[in-house]
Amino acid sequence: MTPSPSPPAGGTNASPQPHGDSIDFQPRKAAIIGVGLLGGSIGLALRRRWPSIEVFGSSRSEKKRQRALQTGCVTTACEDERAACRDADLIFICTPVGLIAEKAIQLAACCPEHALLTDVGSTKRKIVDTVESDARAAAKFVGSHPIAGGEKTGPEHATADLFENKRVVVTPTERTAADRLTRTIALWQALGAEVLQLSPSVHDDQLAGVSHATHFASCAVASILREDEITLIGSGWRDTTRVAAGDPQMWSDIAAQNAAPITVRLRAIRQQLDALIDAIDAEDRDTLMRLLTAAQQLRQCVPAPDSIRAPDSIPAPESAAETDSDA
Amino acid sequence: MTPSPSPPAGGTNASPQPHGDSIDFQPRKAAIIGVGLLGGSIGLALRRRWPSIEVFGSSRSEKKRQRALQTGCVTTACEDERAACRDADLIFICTPVGLIAEKAIQLAACCPEHALLTDVGSTKRKIVDTVESDARAAAKFVGSHPIAGGEKTGPEHATADLFENKRVVVTPTERTAADRLTRTIALWQALGAEVLQLSPSVHDDQLAGVSHATHFASCAVASILREDEITLIGSGWRDTTRVAAGDPQMWSDIAAQNAAPITVRLRAIRQQLDALIDAIDAEDRDTLMRLLTAAQQLRQCVPAPDSIRAPDSIPAPESAAETDSDA
């Protein structure tokens, strides 16, 4: 396992690294800043992989610290982030995205020289740019984004296998230290993930497409519900709007971190909506069929959740109706 | 069980009828025109409820007729719809929505005088209007729409319990015969459903909101996927776009049957999208938080799938983030 320390080409995904169980370092102490679902799951996964590791978790919430201890996510819980990072080999910043860069810079100043700092934020460009404006933090930090999670939050829902067969994007730049990148990749692989490398801006552009803009579009759909229609809701509405139940504060932070790529994608969605409205208004069946068939083909080319590799090509469309269609 | 034969008030949902096992008639023969997932499930449910019933199923597809026989959805399969309806007490029209009214009129002319004709179409106003333009069909027909189904199609996926604890909307009008309405309600209740009555136009307006427009919006989201982003897809994108895999022909038919209510709702969704785009562009956190919180509250007021009754009121918002949020 000798991943290249250079950043990937701008516009395309690097292939995922093969799943590796080997890792050439033995972390003795990890610090997790923010012990929620992701931070807690990192703690459990680290302890399963290296049973003797010390895992210090910090949270401002006394209740969350207690739950993290009770569920075994951490071996020590503390309020003071700096204390958690003292002597740590690994530091995971699992706070809301708006706080990550600031904490990385602060903690890089007080953690050991050899420490690796990483994060789990679902935006990367602003975080990495800000961290790299500080030489000491730039030397220790590699951006990470595990594509894993769930609607349930808090350390009580953490699981040691949350990252098993999930993708983790790491986002090196020209300033990233080669040894830190190697260690970051090996670390996520040791926790069961498939790692791929993207530049921070390509990451943000692509995540805007498959996650961030999707979230806001789902909120727009949920917004128009009328209370007297609740009794008529079926599985279609339920699934299409599931993510709209997410934390407004968190998504507002994400919007602030990745505004331009998100609004580009939201405008593309709006353009598609307009085309559908126009075709329905004009009773233009040919255009409507073309738009619906294109959407169906794109949706059907996505592999099942347990198969995380992309198909070689987009398959021919197959009918998979929501309800019945027979004459 | 004495449901009122008069249509419900225009703007509000009638309360669902209590689940009833009693039914004051014993159907001897049913005909199912179009034996797919819904038609096949009706066949299985009828045979479970009345083991001696004859169920004739018609389909243009030889393969589908064979599968319907093999899975026990029907006792006799035939290509000729008129033959299927001869001597039938109950006739379920389970074809694409664009064909239902025409078939109801045709079959009303050749079925017994006492027969009840109903359907499973997810639009109602155009169907009921057209059927009621024919006096003989109007006397025998009651519109139905079971809010049940799935992505899997065909009689091989039919189940006898598809309608258990699901809602079925029946859509009587001033022209609906009281005895047929009573029988339609009792029938769906006998198959396990909770029945509610709505006028055809209220049904279509509300279904545009919770199903039809949602479907087209989901297609718009799926449409903007770029092939190099497939590897980054998580559960959020997957759920938000699930219904976009549905049959374009079926949804194009639905759009043609319910164009105005659907485009009204799509414009409402677009207006919400515009408000989100504007707030993100302007870095207006207050507005963004207000929009996201409103969507979250609406999404959270929807009861879990196994609890089909609406809550008394919309509860206070609770944070339920998609990923982590802890500092």
- Interchain CB distance below 8 Å, A237 and B210: yes
Closest C-alpha to A170, from A193, A148, A197, A191: A197
Same-domain pairing of A178 and A222? no
Computed over every residue of chain B, the mean pLDDT equals 88
Same-domain pairing of B37 and B172? yes
Same-domain pairing of B159 and B189? yes
CB atoms inside a 10 Å sphere around CB A220? 28
HSE value, Cβ hemisphere, 13 Å, CA-based, for A82: 4
> What stretches of chain A show up as alpha helix (H) in DSSP?
37-49, 62-70, 81-85, 97-108, 125-132, 135-140, 178-190, 200-207, 213-223, 235-240, 248-257, 259-281, 285-300
Which H or E element spans position A78? strand A76-78
- Whole-angstrom CA distances from A12 to A123, A129, A310 are 18, 21, 13
User: Which among B122, B234, B245 has the least Cβ separation from residue A320?
Assistant: B245
Q: Which residue of A has its CA nearest to B250?
A: A325
pLDDT value for B289: 98
Same-domain pairing of B211 and B103? no
Distance CA B185, CA B202 (A): 18
* A interface test, pick of B38, B97, B231 with most A CB neighbours within 10 Å: B231
3-state secondary structure (DSSP) of residue B237: helix
Same-domain pairing of A43 and A177? yes
Cβ contacts of A249 on chain B, cutoff 8 Å: 289, 319, 325
Residue B226 has pLDDT above 90, yes or no: yes
Distance CA A18, CA B240 (A): 29
CATH number at residue B57: 3.40.50.720
Q: What is the mean pLDDT of residues B185-206?
A: 97
Q: Which residue of B has its CA nearest to A319?
A: B247
* A interface test, pick of B224, B272, B306 with most A CB neighbours within 10 Å: B224
- Interchain CB distance below 8 Å, B291 and A61: no
Q: Is B272 exposed, middle or buried (0-12, 13-18, 19+ CB in 10 A)?
A: buried
Distance CA A191, CA A165 (A): 9
Q: Is the residue at B66 inside a domain?
A: yes
Same-domain pairing of A100 and A228? no
Q: Is the residue at A74 inside a domain?
A: yes
Q: Is the residue at B247 inside a domain?
A: yes
Structure tokens at A168: 């983790």
Distance CA B97, CA B93 (A): 9
Same-domain pairing of B98 and B186? yes
Distance CA B238, CA A306 (A): 12
Same-domain pairing of B164 and B214? no
Structure tokens at B264: 């009204």
B183, B198, B213 - which closes a domain: B198
pLDDT value for A324: 38
Cβ contacts of B62 on chain A, cutoff 8 Å: none
Q: Is the residue at B306 inside a domain?
A: no
The ipTM is 0.86
Same-domain pairing of B215 and B132? no
- Interchain CB distance below 8 Å, A252 and B285: yes
> What is the length of chain B?
327
Strands A90-93 and A116-119: parallel
CATH number at residue A212: 1.10.3660.10
> Over its length of 327 residues, how does chain A's per-residue pLDDT go in tens digits?
333 434 333 433 444 444 444 556 789 999 999 999 999 999 999 999 999 999 999 999 999 999 999 999 999 999 999 999 999 999 999 999 999 999 999 999 999 999 999 999 999 999 999 999 999 999 999 999 999 876 678 899 999 999 999 999 999 999 999 999 999 999 999 999 999 999 999 999 999 999 999 999 999 999 999 999 999 999 999 999 999 999 999 999 999 999 999 999 999 999 999 999 999 999 999 999 999 999 999 999 998 876 544 333 333 333 333 333 333
Q: Is the residue at A111 inside a domain?
A: yes
Query: Which residue range(s) make up the domain with B257?
Result: 203-300
Q: Give the closest-approach CA distance of B198 to chain A in angstroms.
A: 11
Placement of tokens 């006898």 in the chain: B160
Q: Is the residue at A141 inside a domain?
A: yes
Phi, psi of B224 (to 5 degrees): -90, 5
Placement of tokens 């996927």 in the chain: B225
User: Which among A36, A218, A220 has the least Cβ separation from residue B324?
Assistant: A36
- Interchain CB distance below 8 Å, B228 and A268: no
Q: What is the largest CA-CA distance in chain B?
A: 72
Cβ contacts of A61 on chain B, cutoff 8 Å: 326
- Interchain CB distance below 8 Å, A237 and B211: yes
Q: Which residue of B has its CA nearest to A321?
A: B246
Same-domain pairing of B39 and B95? yes
- Interchain CB distance below 8 Å, B266 and A288: no
Q: Is the residue at A312 inside a domain?
A: no
B161, B181, B198 - which closes a domain: B198
CB atoms inside a 10 Å sphere around CB B294? 17
Phi, psi of B228 (to 5 degrees): -75, 0
Same-domain pairing of A232 and A169? no
DSSP assignment of A203-261, as one string?
A: HHHHHIIIIIHHHHHHHHHHHT--GGGGGG--HHHHHHTGGGGS-HHHHHHHHHHSHHH
Q: Is B49 exposed, middle or buried (0-12, 13-18, 19+ CB in 10 A)?
A: middle
Q: Is the residue at B321 inside a domain?
A: no
The domain total for chain B is 2
User: Tell me: the pLDDT tens digits for B88-130?
Assistant: 999 999 999 999 999 999 999 999 999 999 999 999 999 999 9
Of the pLDDT bands very low, low, confident and very high (cuts 50, 70, 90), residue B40 is very high
The answer to whether the CB of B81 falls within 8 A of the CB of B88 is: no
Percent of chain B clearing pLDDT 90 (strictly above)? 82
User: Which among A220, A239, A267 has the least Cβ separation from residue B242?
Assistant: A239
pLDDT value for A45: 98
B157, B178, B198 - which closes a domain: B198
User: Which among A11, A36, A148 has the least Cβ separation from residue B326?
Assistant: A36
Same-domain pairing of A76 and A115? yes
Lowest mean pLDDT among A23-27, A171-175, B67-71, B323-327: B323-327
Cβ contacts of B303 on chain A, cutoff 8 Å: 230
Contacts of A237 (CB under 8 A, 6+ apart): A221, A225, B210, B211, B214, B302
> What is the length of chain A?
327
